[in-house]
Structure formats: structure tokens, C-alpha cells
């Protein structure tokens, strides 16, 4: 009887130590969020191009980044820890690419001048906030995993916070009739993406070195 209890406890401990990324709920959350991000990529990107909003285009780049990151995470979910660290590295590089692309768009917006429609900009930003808030809620329980999981959580959380900034920028555009709130919001979004990418890349390379030394 004692041996059976010990065996049962051992099995339970093994189940408790199962990697978080192998939880079926995690894969489901990734698939749902990836689909939502793809939809919002086209919605926000189209709106940003239509009204000439640097902030919406920068945020659409975030949705492109997230869709890529989530898709890669789905493919890599059963890879080894070292392979997942490499995936985390590429996810960090994707975040950096979005930041650089947003900076290029900001320079273009400064040269072109003008102010986007505050009503459409604010409405799309609220929709984006709802999507990112939902995804952050679905992924919050997995934020303590490896570099890849941390990259996904960090990116989603940052996006939700920056959507609030875009809504505020739209309000200031309505008040001031100036395009600078849009430009400033776009610059902040780009900066946050670049800062987040350095943390993710650092964590991923650290895991890769750790795996190489074992």
C-alpha cells in the first residue's frame, strides 16, 4: 500500500513538472490569438493607410509581429528547449524589426504633415485594445515560462498598454487638430518594441548559452 502511494505521488509530481508550453490550453490560446492578430493586422493596417496615422500603422506592425511570433510558437511548441530558445531569439528580432519599421513610418509622416481622423483612429484603437486585452487575459497564466513564452506575453501586454496611448493620442488630435500626438504615439510604440526586443533577445541568448554549456 505504501509503495502504491509513493508511486502515485511520484506520478503526480511528474505531472506537476510538465513544461508549461506543453499544456493543451496554451496551444489553444496561441491559435485563437494568432487568428485575432491576423484579422487586426488587416483592419488596423488598412485604417492606418487610409487616414495616414503613424500610430495605427505602427500598431498594425505590432499585430504582424504578434501573428508571426504566435505562429512560430505554435510550430515550435514541442521543440527542445534549445530550439525554443532559438525561436525566442527570432521572436525578439521580429519585435526589433517592427520598431525600426515604425520609426521609418514616423519620419515619413513628419515629412508629409497633416493630421489623421481622430474619430476613426480612436475607434480602431479601442477595437485593437479589446483584442489585445483578450489575448493578454488568455496568455497571462503562461507568462512565467521560457524565453519564447515570455516574449509572447511581453509583446501582448505591451500592445494592450500602447493601444491606450493611441486612444489618448486620438483625443488630443481632436482637441488640437495637430498630427503631432499621432507622431509621438507612434514613436513611443516603436521605442517600446525596440526595448522589449532587447530583453527578449537577451533572455533567449542566455538560454542558448546555458543549453550549450550542459
Sign of CA dihedral 91, 93, 94, 99: positive
* pLDDT per position as a tens digit, 93-132: 877 777 787 788 788 878 887 888 999 999 999 999 999 9
The verdict on residue 135 lying in a domain is yes
Residue predicted with more confidence, 30 or 156: 30
* pLDDT per position as a tens digit, 61-77: 788 778 877 887 787 66
Sign of CA dihedral 57, 190, 148, 90: positive
Distance CA 15, CA 102 (A): 43
Q: What per-residue confidence (pLDDT) applies to 123?
A: 96
Total count of domains within the chain? 1
Smallest CA-to-CA distance from 60 within 186, 209, 168, 198 is with 186
CATH of the domain at 192: 1.20.1510
DSSP 23: -
The verdict on residue 7 lying in a domain is no
Sign of CA dihedral 111, 116, 122, 126: negative
Smallest CA-to-CA distance from 22 within 156, 157, 142 is with 142
The verdict on residue 8 lying in a domain is no
The verdict on residue 153 lying in a domain is yes
The verdict on residue 6 lying in a domain is no
The verdict on residue 18 lying in a domain is no
Q: What per-residue confidence (pLDDT) applies to 2?
A: 40
* pLDDT per position as a tens digit, 37-67: 999 989 998 998 898 888 888 888 788 778 8
The verdict on residue 174 lying in a domain is yes
The verdict on residue 73 lying in a domain is yes
Residue 195: enclosing H or E segment and its boundaries? helix 180-213
Q: What is the pTM of this model?
A: 0.72
Smallest CA-to-CA distance from 67 within 93, 91, 99, 102 is with 91
Q: What per-residue confidence (pLDDT) applies to 9?
A: 44
Q: State the residue range of the domain holding 209.
A: 23-213
Residues whose CB is less than 8 angstroms from the CB of residue 50 and which lie 6 or more positions away in sequence, other chains included: 120
Amino acid at each position: 500500500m505504501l509503495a502504491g502511494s509513493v508511486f502515485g505521488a511520484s506520478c503526480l509530481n511528474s505531472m506537476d513538472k510538465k513544461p508549461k508550453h506543453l499544456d493543451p490550453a496554451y496551444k489553444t490560446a496561441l491559435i485563437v490569438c494568432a487568428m485575432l492578430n491576423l484579422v487586426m493586422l488587416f483592419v488596423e493596417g488598412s485604417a492606418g493607410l487610409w487616414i495616414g496615422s503613424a500610430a495605427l500603422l505602427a500598431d498594425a506592425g505590432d499585430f504582424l509581429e504578434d501573428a508571426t511570433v504566435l505562429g512560430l510558437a505554435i510550430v515550435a511548441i514541442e521543440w527542445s528547449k534549445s530550439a525554443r530558445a532559438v525561436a525566442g531569439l527570432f521572436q525578439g528580432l521580429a519585435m526589433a524589426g517592427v520598431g525600426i519599421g515604425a520609426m521609418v513610418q514616423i519620419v515619413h509622416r513628419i515629412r508629409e504633415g497633416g493630421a489623421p481622423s481622430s474619430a476613426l483612429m480612436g475607434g480602431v484603437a479601442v477595437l485593437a485594445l479589446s483584442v489585445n486585452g483578450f489575448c493578454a487575459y488568455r496568455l497571462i497564466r503562461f507568462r512565467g515560462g521560457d524565453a519564447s513564452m515570455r516574449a509572447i506575453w511581453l509583446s501582448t501586454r505591451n500592445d494592450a498598454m500602447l493601444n491606450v496611448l493611441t486612444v489618448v493620442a486620438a483625443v488630443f488630435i481632436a482637441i488640437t487638430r495637430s498630427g503631432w500626438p499621432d507622431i509621438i504615439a507612434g514613436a513611443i510604440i516603436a521605442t517600446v518594441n525596440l526595448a522589449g526586443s532587447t530583453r527578449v533577445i537577451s533572455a533567449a541568448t542566455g538560454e542558448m548559452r546555458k543549453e550549450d554549456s550542459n
